Amino acid sequence: MKLEATQLAAQNAPYLDTHDRSWDILRQQMESKGLNTKALLQQLSDLQIAIPSWALGAGGTRFGRFSFGGEPANLEQKIADVGLLHALSRSAGSISLHIPWDIPEDPAAIRELAAIHELTFDAVNSNTFQDQPGQAQSYKFGSLCHHSAEVRAQAIEHNLEVIRIGQTLGSKSITVWLADGASFPGQHSLRGALQRTQDSLQAIYRDMPEDWRMFIEYKPYEPNFYSTVIADWGTSLMLAEGCGPNAYTLVDLGHHLPNTNIEQIVATLMMKGKLGGFHFNDSKYGDDDLTVGSIKPYQLFLIFNELVYGMANNTANNPPLAWMIDASHNLKDPLEDLLQSLEAIRIAYAQALLVDQEALADAQARQDVTEAQEILQDAFRTDVRPLVREARWQDGGALYPIQAYRELGIREQLIEQRGMHTIATGL
Ligand code: PSV
Ligand code: MN
Ligand code: MN
């Protein structure tokens, strides 16, 4: 199904007056502080987040999945779902595919369908953390790090195949996340596994098209619990530097030990021009993959504050970042959940754009710690929702996306079309 502009306009109509009143107040408040509201609206409108094809069904990883009904059964339906998210939010303009879960049988037709929904294809993701039917070698003991040259060759070839598939869709980047590691001390040589991973990544990089980028994720544990080969941002950065200028570190918010200062990692990577992208989610304990902004919204704001600073002071020529949501769980309607995540990202970005960077630099120079905190929290505590809403409305989206989703009966229509007992592919 596809949402038409007229449907959204009619749904928005009764709420416009209320929105206008709150937007007027905020606009005047921002303008009295010397902020350029037109530029802010444009910056917000430009922030487009990729939706991963594996987050559109009710998730739950290795535990129970409880179908919502109407979940997408194939790539065409996944594209339609992202199209719905984009029509409502105007901030989900691309889709990120996982191969082999989402192999397009007819790439030209898939591209055409995506264009109808105003979507492009973001990074493609390889999968060497699961064995596939008919595959000669097993990844039980790793892929790019494996002892056996045959397993490594198979994993390298898979990544190159993912790139080739991505090319047929117009993707320009590949994200590599490896489950490779050891669950027990002594299981493998820590140094040997890292060396082999470096060699394998370099082999993929060598055959990657010149206009492509490689993003290397890191994660401290899970599914391996003693050691992960690419455990932290430093290892990822080292591997990216070992590959070349088009390889970057990708920060997934859930891939840190509790209380890690992620904004500092962002600052460090941007100083080196090596931050490739982000996987947004939220967590309390580990790689919980919860809705963005549901647990630690202040951390998200501080991260965006570093990103805004980094983009404005881009001395190392960090390229524009690839943004993606990497969240999924088994309680909420997955589309409502993604709408909440999209909103949380734009809110944190808007708050960060409000930070008075000059005043902050001045307070820092004077060692006025109290004032520095006041400046940050003044921005964080501003209710920017009317600004975010206005940007979305000007772009033709819904003033209140979740309300619109419910009032338009979207899930009910999807259930009617696709059935009640559906389980989408994914983690
Ligand atoms: C596993 O931790 C993971 O969540 C990684 O973050 C990847 O990006 C994602 O799965 C898809 O492979
Ligand atoms: Mn991720
Ligand atoms: Mn993860």
User: What are the tens digits of pLDDT across the range 236-277?
Assistant: 999 999 999 999 999 999 999 999 999 999 999 999 999 999
Q: Separation of 97 CA from ligand 2 center, angstroms?
A: 12
110 within ligand 1 shell (Cβ under 6 A) = no
pLDDT at 63 over 80: no
Chain-wide mean pLDDT for the chain?
Answer: 96
Report d(CA 241, CA 236) in Å as an integer.
Answer: 9
* Domain ranges, ordered by start, for the chain: 17-418
CA torsion, points 79, 304, 175, 54, in degrees to nearest 10?
-40
What lies within 8 Å, CB to CB, of 244 at 6+ separation is: 205
> Which residue, judged by its Cα, is nearest atom 3 of ligand 1?
177
Q: Separation of 61 CA from ligand 2 center, angstroms?
A: 13
What is the model's pLDDT at position 56? 93
What is the model's pLDDT at position 285? 95
β-pairing, 181-182 with 213-217?
A: unpaired
CA distances from 82 to 164, 364, 379, 406 (A): 23, 43, 31, 16
- Looking at the DSSP bridge assignments, the partners of residue 322 are 277
The answer to whether 182 touches 193, Cβ cutoff 8 Å, is yes
177 within ligand 1 shell (Cβ under 6 A) = yes
Assigned token pair, 213: 């980028």
217 within ligand 1 shell (Cβ under 6 A) = yes
The answer to whether 278 touches 233, Cβ cutoff 8 Å, is no
> Which residue, judged by its Cα, is nearest atom 5 of ligand 1?
177
pLDDT at 176 over 90: yes
What are the phi and psi torsion angles at 121 (to 5°)? -100, 120
> Which residue, judged by its Cα, is nearest atom 2 of ligand 1?
287
Core vs surface per residue 287-322: b (16+ CB within 10 A) or e: bbbbbbbbebbebbbbbbbbbbbbeeeeeeebeebb
17-418, what's its fold? Answer: TIM Barrel (3.20.20)
The answer to whether 279 touches 288, Cβ cutoff 8 Å, is no
Q: Separation of 79 CA from ligand 3 center, angstroms?
A: 22
In the structure, what pLDDT confidence band is assigned to residue 425 with cuts at 50, 70 and 90?
low
What are the phi and psi torsion angles at 182 (to 5°)? -135, 140
Comparing C-alpha atoms, which of 236, 237, 204 is closest to residue 220? 236
Q: Separation of 183 CA from ligand 3 center, angstroms?
A: 17
Q: Separation of 200 CA from ligand 3 center, angstroms?
A: 22
State the ligand closest to the CA atom of 254. 3
- Check if the interface score ipTM surpasses 0.85: yes
pTM exceeds cut of 0.90: yes
256 within ligand 1 shell (Cβ under 6 A) = no
